[in-house]
Amino acid sequence: MSDALTQMNFQFPNQTKYYKGKVRDVYTIDTDLLVMVASDRISAFDHVLPKGIPYKGQVLNQIAGYFLDATSDIVPNWKMASPDPQVTVGKACSPYRIEMVIRGYLSGHAWREYKAGRRMICGVAMPDGMTENDKFPTPIITPATKADEGHDEDISREEIIKQGIVVESEYTQLEKYTRALFQRGCEMALAKGLILVDTKYEFGKDRDGNITLIDEIHTPDSSRYFYADGYEVRQKAGEKQKQLSKEFVREWLMDNGFQGLEGQQMPNMPDEFVKTVSERYIELYESITGKSFEKANVQDIETRVEANVLKYLATK
């Protein structure tokens, strides 16, 4: 799709590093500035799908910017500016090698562990007698190691401190920030008729040694949302919850015989499905932020992004 940004290889002035993730490309300028470009690539089951999704990068970048701005009173974050709908520029930080995952409900990975008979996850006890998507009495923090390759792994608070991944005093602060951010996210979601089910946060230290929120927060790629209306009714009836996430993409892949397992072939994505996914992402943006989505010009995205970033960097 020519109206989706999937491949790029910019060379910005004073660029010192380039990192290509599954979805985002990150350019380091000198040593202290990051240019993060949200592509229109989409991943599921640890695989990047063959076609880009128009406007997906804009949706994710603008949702993340919205929540970074709305939580900057809780914890300092890395964002400095968004010179293009698909770009955030911010300060480079030294990342902690863990993700702070917080769960308000028994869903996803936690439910799979629970269903398998386990009542401990990351050293945290889960109460007996729960069913899928029940609310925890108190949100639980279930950290994961950040893997350079392959899957992230569950890890307990005790192991993080024992292995020296994070010192205890700083980890305690990360927990406080995680709970405060999640509380704010839950309140903002409920105001839009949504339930923030679970999410993850990444933190680092800026060059002055301050703990800083990095990457993106509260987007459909890192968070799970339910619709609040009808949650209790569906739960009592043992029905699936109505989700606001990219779960529908995973379901389409599974329906077409793909779960990222060895020997499975990625299905072809019909243009009509790509269009549907794009529309769903726009719906996600409008539901989560309560704002109308304004489509950026996608005739020549790569040129647009490069020009906007260069214009911004010229002012630094």
pLDDT in tens, 221-255: 889 999 999 999 999 999 999 988 887 898 899 99
Query: Containing H/E element for 174?
Result: helix 168-190
Kindly tell me the burial class for residue 287, based on how many C-beta atoms sit within 10 Å of its own C-beta (0-12, 13-18, 19 or more): middle
Residues 6+ apart with CB under 8 A from 40: 4, 5, 6, 52, 53, 54, 55, 56, 57
H-assigned helices in 30-88: 56-70
What does pLDDT average to over the chain?
94
Say whether pLDDT at 147 is over 70: no
Higher pLDDT: 117 or 316? It is 117
pLDDT in tens, 155-204: 999 999 999 999 999 999 999 999 999 999 999 999 999 999 999 999 99
Is 3.40.190.10 the CATH number for 96-244?
no
Q: How much is the pTM?
A: 0.92
CB atoms within 10 A of CB 165: 16
- pLDDT, average across residues 287-301: 95
- pLDDT, average across residues 95-108: 97
What is the pLDDT, as a whole number, of residue 146?
A: 80
What is the pLDDT, as a whole number, of residue 244?
A: 85
Residue spans of the domains in the chain: they are: 15-94+251-313, 96-244
Given a contact cutoff of 8 angstroms between Cβ atoms, the answer to whether 22 and 48 are in contact is: yes
The CATH fold of domain 15-94+251-313: Phosphorylase Kinase; domain 1 (3.30.200)
* First-residue to last-residue Cα distance in the chain: 34
Strands of the sheet containing 15-20, edge to edge, are 15-20, 24-29, 33-38, 87-91, 79-84
pLDDT band at 209 (very low <50, low <70, confident <90, very high): very high
Higher pLDDT: 139 or 1? It is 139
Kindly tell me the burial class for residue 88, based on how many C-beta atoms sit within 10 Å of its own C-beta (0-12, 13-18, 19 or more): buried
CA 8 to chain centre: 21
Residues 1, 143: Cα–Cα separation, whole Å: 37
| % the chain with pLDDT above 70 | 98
What is the pLDDT, as a whole number, of residue 148?
A: 60
32-70 in b/e form (b: 16+ CB < 10 A) is: ebbbbbbbbbbebeeebbebbbbbbbbbbbbbbbbbbee
Return the DSSP state at 164. T
Say whether pLDDT at 9 is over 90: no
pLDDT band at 286 (very low <50, low <70, confident <90, very high): very high
CA distances from 202 to 75, 78, 216 (A): 12, 11, 8
Q: Which stretches does DSSP call E strand in the chain?
A: 15-20, 24-29, 33-38, 43-44, 47-48, 79-84, 87-91, 94-95, 98-105, 120-121, 124-125, 135-141, 144-145, 194-205, 211-214, 224-227, 243-244
Residues 152, 94: Cα–Cα separation, whole Å: 19
Say whether pLDDT at 84 is over 80: yes
What is the pLDDT, as a whole number, of residue 151?
A: 62
Say whether pLDDT at 1 is over 50: no
Classify 121 in phi/psi space as left (phi over 0), alpha (psi -120 to 50) or beta: beta
Query: Would you list the DSSP string of 80-108?
Result: EEEEETTEEEEE--EE-SEEEEEEEES-H
Say whether pLDDT at 12 is over 60: yes
pLDDT band at 149 (very low <50, low <70, confident <90, very high): low
What is the pLDDT, as a whole number, of residue 267?
A: 94
